[in-house]
A = this chain, B = another copy of it.
Amino acid sequence: MQHGVQIGDVLPESRHKVTQDQIDRYAEASGDRNPLHIDPEFAKETMFGRTIAHGLLSLAFLSQAMTAWDWKGWAFGGGLDIAFLGPVYPGDEVAVRGKVTALEIGENGVIAVCEVACTVEDRTVIAGTVRRRLETA
């Protein structure tokens, strides 16, 4: 196998401090302007009591870590199976971790399976699995 990815490989940990300004820019760029993320008055009345970051922003940190690691273009020909487990507030620092847990060799090529997690201090905010095609049969 030419891809150089092995079971047990660990994604270098990365950290991202989230600000309201970044959330606002993400909302504009993505078009996802849910007031829960950008309107403090609206957010005050929700169960969160204040604005929270888009779950997909934390997922983007994960994507960025994959790109910086070795998986250029990982999002194409791959998949995600993740759960959003808790909110990220402005001011929180999101840590991204991942580990290759399996290589699946099938008719269509080689798929790497990577267990991933985003945490804020000791709270897990995203957890799940990323699958990425490494080689086409």
**Do residues B67 and A32 form an inter-chain contact, with CB atoms below 8 A?**
yes
**Do residues B32 and A29 form an inter-chain contact, with CB atoms below 8 A?**
no
The one of B55, B56, B79, B85 that contacts A84, using a Cβ cutoff of 8 Å: B79
**Do residues A31 and B81 form an inter-chain contact, with CB atoms below 8 A?**
no
Is the C-beta of A108 less than 8 angstroms from some C-beta in chain B?
Answer: no
Task: Tell me the bound Cα distance from A134 to B31 in angstroms.
Answer: 24
Task: Tell me the bound Cα distance from A46 to B76 in angstroms.
Answer: 13
Q: Give the number of copies in the complex.
A: 2
Chain B residues lying within 8 Å of A32, measured Cβ to Cβ, are: 60, 63-64, 67
- Which secondary structure dominates where chain A touches chain B? mixed
Residue among A16, A46, A63, A73 facing the most chain B CB atoms (10 A cut-off): A73
- Using CB atoms and an 8 Å cutoff, list the residues of chain A in contact with chain B: 16, 22, 25-26, 28-34, 36, 46, 52, 54-57, 59-61, 63-64, 67, 72-73, 75-87, 128
